[in-house]
Amino acid sequence: MLDHWCASSIDYGRNMKLTNFQALSFDCYGTLIDWEAGIGSVLRAWADRHGVVLSTEELLVAYADNEADAERHHPTDPYPSILARAMRALGQTLGVDVSDDDAHLLATSVPDWPAFADAHQALERLAQHFALIIVSNVDDRGFAASNEKLGVTFDAILTAESIGSYKPSLHNFDALDRQVDSMGIPRERLLHVAQSLFHDHVPAKSRGMTTVWIDRRHADPGWGATPDPHATVSPDWTFTSMAEFADAVEFGR
């Protein structure tokens, strides 16, 4: 097998219909699970306790780079530790106290993060056409709790805990390569589906992968809890929801 994606696969993917792919690899948080609602509720309560006069959106923006920095500098830390580090760093950024209890509340909040309303049904529809793979910046236990909300059996689950690094590290996409190889799926027949340009589309497109952008924030300005990608990237398809993506597959686009 190739150790990287063939450059020719870029053109090949762009000339294909969605229905020509065999497998979908998904980011989970931001795409299937509403991590902004989950993180935002914890940050909102903390900010209110301390009289921080920022909107929830402003808190998410302030938080975003702190989580990415924690993941970059502590790639083998479990995700709850990353969340706690990011919470403490946010407090330092804003000059507001973060107690151990505050950090613990965010660190243990993943099981409470809601699934997007369209995620379960869309995944069930897509499972009729594709193998489904998760490539997520989370620990195994956290994803298991989220998967109960999604209610779908994935063909493979790759977490930051199992890989030992966090996206946008290319190590995570190396692990994805190995996974599809083991499943006997040609890499050009894999379609990567994600909300985050920073975590997913920039590194995936750097490897010549074909991607679908689920632009959950299409009606909102800015990047929210996801860092600015600081790069120009062009996903091959863009949809505003998982339901819209599933519709496009079933209509043969």
* CATH number for the domain that contains residue 57: 1.10.150.750
Clarify whether residues 108 and 151 are in a common domain: no
Question: Which residue ranges of the chain lie beneath pLDDT 50?
Answer: 1-13
Q: How many domains does the chain have?
A: 2
In Å, the largest CA–CA distance within the chain is 56
pLDDT at 16: 75
pLDDT at 11: 42
pLDDT at 5: 38
pTM of the model: 0.92
Across all residues in the chain, what is the average pLDDT? 93
Clarify whether residues 18 and 134 are in a common domain: yes
Alpha carbons within 13 angstroms on the beta-carbon side of residue 120 total 9
Q: Please report which residue ranges of the chain form alpha helices under DSSP H.
A: 8-14, 35-49, 56-73, 79-94, 100-107, 119-126, 140-150, 160-163, 170-182, 202-206, 242-250
Clarify whether residues 27 and 61 are in a common domain: no
What secondary structure letter does DSSP report for 198? I
Active-site residue, selected from the candidate residues 3, 11, 27, 112: 27
Clarify whether residues 198 and 94 are in a common domain: no
Catalytic residue check, 27: yes
In the numeric block, the tokens 């403490």 are attached to: 88
- Is position 57 within any domain? yes
Range of the domain at 139: 8-34+115-250
Clarify whether residues 107 and 130 are in a common domain: no
pLDDT in tens, 125-167: 999 999 999 999 999 999 999 999 999 999 999 999 999 999 9
Clarify whether residues 14 and 75 are in a common domain: no
- Is position 151 within any domain? yes
Clarify whether residues 68 and 127 are in a common domain: no
- 137: nearest Cα among 188, 180, 195: 195
- Is position 3 within any domain? no
Write down which residue in 50, 83, 112 finishes a domain. Answer: 112
pLDDT at 15: 62
Distance CA 147, CA 28 (A): 9
Write down which residue in 112, 129, 161 finishes a domain. Answer: 112
Assess contact for 33 and 116: CB atoms under 8 A: yes
Burial 150-171 (b: 16+ CB within 10 A, else e): bebebebbbbbbebebbbbbbb
CA 219 to chain centre: 19
* CATH number for the domain that contains residue 184: 3.40.50.1000
Write down which residue in 77, 96, 112 finishes a domain. Answer: 112
- Is position 22 within any domain? yes
Q: What is the dihedral of CA 115, 116, 118, 121, to 10 degrees?
A: -10
pLDDT in tens, 79-96: 999 999 999 999 999 999
